[in-house]
Amino acid sequence: QVQLVQSGAEVKKPGASVKVSCKASGYTFTGYYMHWVRQAPGQGLEWMGRINPNSGGTNYAQKFQGRVTMTRDTSISTAYMELSRLRSDDTAVYYCARAPTTTVTTFFDYWGQGTLVTVSS
């Protein structure tokens, strides 16, 4: 069965960076784009961007351009999302989500369990 298992919670200071991992299993990792979506406490969902695990090509939401980097390691079927220059309003649960289509605009059929990133001085 498809599983996306994310790394554990992180606490970071403002200005620092955080790198979240998402290990995929149960399907061919390079066959599906991986997206990242975040959810601030008590808030809705916000799309951040995606990576093509096959080529490594990325597309980022305009809001996060210049601060987010998505990478992957195909040898261990893992995708990564790194967010830099953290601010307090980056405090959120970060999800990886698999897309069943190749377009940037897509829905998400499987989600990781989420990683809470807390930014606090």
Q: Which residues bind another protein (CB under 8 A)?
A: 35, 37, 44-47, 61-62, 95, 103-114
Q: Which is nearer to another protein, 75 or 100 (CB)?
A: 100
Contact 66, 89 (CB under 8 A): no
Q: Which is nearer to another protein, 73 or 109 (CB)?
A: 109
Least distance from another protein to the Cβ atom of residue 10, Å: 17
Q: Which is nearer to another protein, 88 or 113 (CB)?
A: 113
Least distance from another protein to the Cβ atom of residue 46, Å: 7
Q: Which of 64, 119, 68, 47 is nearest to 90 (CA)?
A: 119
Q: Which is nearer to another protein, 16 or 45 (CB)?
A: 45
